[in-house]
Every structure is written in C-alpha cells, then in structure tokens.
Chain A
Amino acid sequence: MLLVSYSFAAFCLVLFAVYYLFSGRLQWVVLLVFSGLFYAHGGVRGLLYPLVTTGSAWFLAGRIGRQTKESGRYMKEQGFDRMQKKAYTKQVKKKQRCLLTAGLVLNFGILAAAKYTSLFMTLGISYYTFQAMGYLIDVYRRKYEPERNPARLALFVGFFPQLTAGPISRFDRMREELFREHRFSFSGFRLGAERVLWGYFKKLVIANRIGPAAAAITGSPELYSGFFAFFGMLFHVIELYADFSGCMDIVLGLSQMLGISLPENFERPFFSKSLSEFWRRWHMSLMQWFREYIFFPVSTSHFSQSFAKAVGRIGGRQAGSKAPVWLAGLVVWLVTGIWHGASWRFVTWGLANCSVILLSQELSGVYRGFHERFAFSNRPWYQYFASLRTCLVFGLLQMLIYVSIPELFGMFLGMAAGEGLSELCAGGLLTLGLDLADYGILFLGLVLLFAVELMGRGGSVRERFEEKPGWLRYLLLFALFLLVIMAGVYGHGYDASRFIYNRF
C-alpha cells in the first residue's frame, strides 16, 4: 500500500476509529492486525518473509535468553569460582554466538536474496530485518530480556508506518511506546495530522514535481553535461530530501496520531558543516544502527586490533591508533553502499563518501589552524558557505550513483567550458518535463521549506507555531492544505508516487 494513495487514507481512517474504540490493553493487537493488513495488501505471500524474520528472531532470542538465565542459575547452584565462571560463560557465549550467527545469516541472506536477485521483493524488508536483527544482537549482548510473546515482537518488527522507509527503532524504546495504553488526545492527534500534512507537502508539491526533471538528467548523463549536470545534481538532491524527509514526516506524524513516538530520522542535514556531520543528521536511525552494530564491533574486534598493530609497526603509533576507525569506517560505508543497491556504482559511492569523511578527519588539524588564523570563519556567512559546500559535496557524491567518476568529471568540467549554457538560456530547463508554472510552484515550495528549516535552527518550529493564535494557525494550515491539494502532483495519470526509500 502506498502512503500516497486513497486506499491508505481510508485504511488510516478505519484504523483510527478502531484503535481508539479499543482504548486499553488491546490497542497493540489492533495495530498488529492493521499492520498485517497493510502488509498483506500487496499479496498474502508477502507476509511470509516478515513472519520468518519475526519467528526466527523470537525463537533465537528466546533460546539465547534462556541460556543466559540457565547458565546464571547453574553457576550459582554449582558454586563456581571466578575462573570456573569465566570458562563456563565463555562456553555459553560460544553457543549463543552460534545461535546469533544462524539468525544473522538466515535473515541477511533473505534480505540479500530479495535485494540482489529477482526472486522476490517484499515491502520494507531492509527496515524490518535491521530492526529484528538489532533486537537479536541486543538480547545476545544482554541489554534486555527477550520478548516472550511472539505477537508483540511481530508488532515491533512490522509496525506498518515504519515499513515504508524506517525509522529503525530499538526494541527497548519501542516496547514502552507500542504496548502502553494510548487514550485519545485531540492535541496529540492534531499535531500528528499537521506533521502528516507537512510531509505530504514535501512529497507531493516538491519531490513529485521535481522528480521527472531530475530523472531526465540523471537518467541520460550522456545528453546532459555542463550546466545541465549541475541542475541535475541540484534537482536530485532536492527530490531525495523532500521525498525521504516528507515520508518521515508522514510516518512520524501518523504514529503521533496513534499516540506513539518514533525516533527522528532527520535533523536539518543541509545545515551541516561537514559531510560526517551531514551523515549524522541524515537517515539518523540507519546510521546509528550501522554505528552500533557494525562500526563498534568491527573497530573493537580482534582482527581490527591486529590490523592496528600491523599499521602501527609500519606507519607509527598514531597511524596504528587510527587504523581501527579507518577499517570500521570502510566496512560501514561499504555496507551502506551495498545496501543502497546491487551495483559497483553504489560501492563507489559508499567508498567515495568514506574517503571524503576520513580525509576531512585527518585534515581536521589543518582546519583548526585555518579557523584560528582567519576570524571570518566564525562569521554567519561563512557558516552558510560551509553548509553550501557540504551540500555540494553531498550532491556530487550522489551523482556517482548515476555516472562513473570519469564521467562525473567530464560532466562538470563541461561547466567550466560553458557547456549547456546557451541551451539553458534558450529555455533548456523547460524541456525537462516542467513548465514555468511548475518552476514557480517549486520556487515557492522551496522557499517555504527553507524558511521552516531555517527557523528550526532557533528551536522547535512546531512549538513556536503552537504559540500563535488559533485563527492564524488554522489559516496557515488551511493554506498549506490547499497548496498540497492544488499544487501536489498526484492522482490520475500520475504513477510515480512511490517513495524513493520504499525500494529498500
């Protein structure tokens, strides 16, 4: 079921009615049933894979949890001394590691088969697999007890708003949210609805409108170079952000309407001063997942320590101490690239991001010296320049998904030679599927989006909005609603309403 569809709107209306009718301990069952319906909308067979993931995570986590408990009891009964305890715990951990490995191999195997073969594809497989495996690893790490009720775990894995594009949540946090009673609160419901509306504005008015133009350029890089390449990059970045963050606003707003708080996934990434900061503020839950379940384990692994020693021997102590971070960063970005798509272009994109981040980390001393020497670097305009520079770097790296590195150079070197400029001046942008009215709407939409993001730097925009008089809020929201209804790209003849991150 698409978030931009009438059937989804009807689905939500029925859900809200039933959900608040069952106000009490059964609410999570309602959510589970509706999540199942949401999933089964694309075909009952599609339920099989999340069921396998849930079932395996529940079974294996249960076994791991039981082993932990039993081993503790056993060691107490036997009165083991410290050494015996250590040896026995090691033995138990080995068994648990086997169970964990089985779970990871099975589920990431299914994920790989879905993503990289044409055998099957199922909605949100990355997101629910990551959530379920995060849960399994946490139980293995003894962060919390395993969930006894498989149905409750199924809701955590398959909570429908998250299936489209995340965010990826942790079980200990979500347990508090999903399984408590949610009484209807008009203000909470209204705030959620407002956020949903803002999300649809980003998606329908901006992303869907600019999408065809971005696709025209990025889809045919051989036809568009020079200034067109720059616009292609710009359009692609705008589309990506409006699409993905719009989807998140819909997901988070919808959850808020149900009384459930989900973790934020964006924090105004385009105001970041560096690429590493950008990636800390973009798709935050995925990056946190990678950090927690890949970066830290890899950087503290035996292999990493041996690698650090080897590097230290060759390059000195300082290089040796940094080696685990380099290695872990490389692995994370390799996985990120592969996760985004099954082609060498994505691998290149991931490694290019990794290179820029590691390089800027290594040059941090040079930057510090620069900032100390030149006072202007603390001025507001320089902060904006740094943000713009980050956006540009992000955009350039994004283009690697569509073209090779030499092609990218070729496209942008053409700009220096003035390539495409005369076509642009002759109305070339109007040949990309957008007319003047479209550009007008886009301009207005982007100004509004930028203004709201800018206001967000000084504190919560929503809190400040709430302080405004009721009539003004109503007027502004109705104007936004009209903008979405009238200027949104949706409905008859439009068949590209899928969210970009649905594909993952």
Chain B
Amino acid sequence: MKRRRAAVWLTALAASAAVLLFLTRLLMPKYMGKVVEGNLTEEYYKETTGHDVLIFGNCEAYENISPIVLWREFGITSYIRGNAQQLIAQSYYLLEDALKTETPKAVVLNISSMTQFEQENESYNRMTLDGMRWSSAKWRAILATKMEDEHLIEYIFPLLRFHSRWKELEQEDFLYFFKKEPVSHNGYYMRADIRPAGELPAMRRRSDYSFDARAWEYLDQIRLLCEERGITLILMKAPALYPYWYEEWDSQIVAYAQVHGLTYLNAGRESESIGIDFSYDTYDQGLHLNVYGAEKLTRYLGSILFAVPGVEDRREDVELAAVWAEKERFYDEKKAEQEAEFARLGYLTQFYTD
C-alpha cells in the first residue's frame, strides 16, 4: 500500500515537472526572427569536432569574422563565441566553459568590450547566458554580470522570467518548440545586405578614458588562463566607423600587449590595406561589416593566425573536411539566398524593420 502511494506521488511529481518543463520550453524566446543572437551561445555545443582558434567578443567578433573563410582559404578550424553586447567577464566564463572540452591553439579576443563593464540591457545578458550549458562557469558568469534587478533564480528557472510571454506567443514559438535550425556559421552572423556608411555622430571628447578596473581584471584572467593552457592570446579591434575607438583607449591596449608580450591587431587602422570599403562592406552604415567586409577581414586575420604555433592547415584531414564541407555548403547557400533577396528587394525580409 505504501509502495503504491509512493509511486502515485512520484508519478504526480514527475507529471508536474514535465508540465513546468513544457511551459518553460514554450515560453522561452526562440530567437528565430529578426533577433537571432539568442541562439549563438547554445549552437557551440552542437559542434562535433574541435577548433584550433576560438574567437570571443561582442558584435565586433560575431559579425566581422567568418570561420568558413578561415577554413576554406587557410584550413583553420575556428568558432566564434560571441554575442550581442557580450561583456568581457562573460567572454572569460565562456572561455572557461569551452576549455572544459577543448584546448585551441589560439584565442582571439575582440577588445571593444573593454569599454563597457556593466550590462545596459537585461535582454543582452539573457541572450548570452541562457544558452550556456550549466556549470560553475555559468553560475559565476551570471553572478558577475547580472544587472541589479536580475536574479540568479530566474536563470535557474527561466519560467519565472518569461512567465508573462504567454501573451506574446508567436508561430515560431510552436514551430521551433522541439528543434531549431542553425542561425550562425560557427558563431558567425551573416548579413549580405549593403547599407553604405553615412553621416555619423560627431566624435566627442570624454572626461575619462580609463577602462573599468574590473574589465582589466577579467582581461588578466583571460590572459592567465590562456598562459596556463599554452594558448596564444591575440587581442583584436575590428574595423568600425562607430562607436568610436579612441586613441587613448588604443594606447592602453597597446601598452598592455607590450607588457605581456601579446599580439594586438587594430584592424581599424588597417582598413585600407585590408580593402574594407565602408560604402560597400557594411550593412548598417559602418557599425558592422557585412559578409563581404567580414570575408576581407578574415583573410587578413587568417594570415596572422597561420603564424601561430600549432595552427595548421587541416584541409587534408578527411573527417574534418567532411564536416566542414557541410558547413561550407550551408554558408554558400545562405549567402546566395541573401544576395538574391537583397538584389530583388533591396533589403532582407528577416531583418527588415519599418
């Protein structure tokens, strides 16, 4: 009798948990519309092969470098663990998370995230952190970067955060309930539309050019973690006309790289030699590169990465080649689709806003 009673209770509890899981799954944003960045962190875990290069940073990382081109032209395997407004602290914990399963030869860190240590919008935190696999790294990433009105419990039980989304449910919430299509190309966010650089806000002088001390601490931690694991750390600043990257900021990074013997690439200064043309290579008037600009920047980066000890051309590896051939096919297909749509409409419907 007791056993039967216990079984009934266990079944009831399991059914209740299943209902809660179902609702959580249904109500969590699917990020399959205009904003797809919420999928970037999660897609990394679907990788079946390792990477020689891991790239970290905010939008300047995941919109400006194409891992497919790195493979196609240099045979370098790479993945971008970047997200919208990804803070340097989050990059550190994502690196820690990645190093649990692989040890790349090089880590590229886009250092524009040094300019902002605290998050300005909760949704950016959710997009970066919700997709992260549960581990102590995720726990610490949440605690280190959550905003004042965010709560750890809402990351553990996302239903508490997204409970009111039942009013906003869309077709995509049901369509992608079980399975989602990949939205990135090894973490790269592709845009094949063109919106030439126009007028930009005037550059204003700042009262203080120093980076937050906590940002420096996390940069140190990234460097030390790389040193500990024998990984070459490369600091990089991607080309962008806006937001401005001040000379005063640049000189601090140059000094840091010199002191610690790191390579620092300010690709913004090399825009001309790289061949970036902001009247063609950007989709949002100079803030981010489109696929054409990203491919140019990737070629520049590839030649530098190739010089890193241990980074090799792996195109001869049959198993890897098969995996990457599928990635190339997907990349080319999406690029062609976007190009055709842009040629036809003058914009991309997925990202179009009135």
Contact = CB atoms under 8 A, between A and B. Distances in A.
Interface stretch (A17-25, A153-161, A488-496): A488-496
Kindly name the residue among B19, B23, B160 whose own CB sees the greatest number of chain A CB atoms within 10 A: B160
B12 A486 contact: no
A493 B163 CA distance: 12
Contacts of A6: 151, 153-154
Contact of B167 (A435, A478, A492): A435
Interface in B116-173: 122, 149-151, 153-154, 159-161, 163-164, 166-167
Contacts of B23: 482, 486
Contact of B122 (A435, A471, A492): A492
A119 interface: no
A478 B13 CA distance: 10
Contacts of A437: 167
Query: Size band of the A side of the interface?
Result: 10 to 19
A492 B150 contact: yes
A485 interface: yes
A489 B164 CA distance: 8
A492 B12 contact: no
A478 B16 contact: yes
Given A6-B151, A6-B153, A482-B19, A488 B163 contact: yes
A367 interface: no
A435 B164 CA distance: 13
A6 B167 CA distance: 24
A376 interface: no
Given A6-B153, A435-B167, A492-B154, A485 B12 contact: no
A486 B16 contact: no
A391 B35 CA distance: 50
A492 B166 contact: no
Contacts of B149: 492-493, 495
A465 interface: no
B20 to A, nearest CB: 8
Contacts of A486: 23, 163-164, 166
Contact of A485 (B151, B154, B159, B167): B159
A303 interface: no
A488 B122 CA distance: 20
Given A6-B153, A478-B16, A492 B159 contact: no
A334 B232 CA distance: 77
B16 A485 contact: no
Interface in A464-498: 471, 474, 478, 482, 485-486, 488-489, 491-493, 495
A491 B12 contact: no
Nearest to B5: A470
Nearest to B12: A474
Interface of A: 6, 435, 437, 471, 474, 478, 482, 485-486, 488-489, 491-493, 495
16 contacts: A6-B151, A6-B154, A478-B19, A482-B23, A485-B163, A486-B164, A489-B164, A491-B154, A491-B164, A492-B122, A492-B149, A492-B150, A492-B154, A492-B161, A493-B149, A495-B149
- Identify the 8 closest CB pairs spanning chains A and B, nearest first: A437-B167, A6-B153, A6-B151, A486-B163, A478-B16, A474-B12, A485-B163, A492-B161
Given A474-B12, A492-B149, 16 more contacts: A6-B151, A6-B154, A437-B167, A478-B16, A482-B19, A482-B23, A485-B159, A485-B160, A486-B23, A486-B164, A486-B166, A488-B163, A491-B154, A491-B161, A492-B154, A495-B149
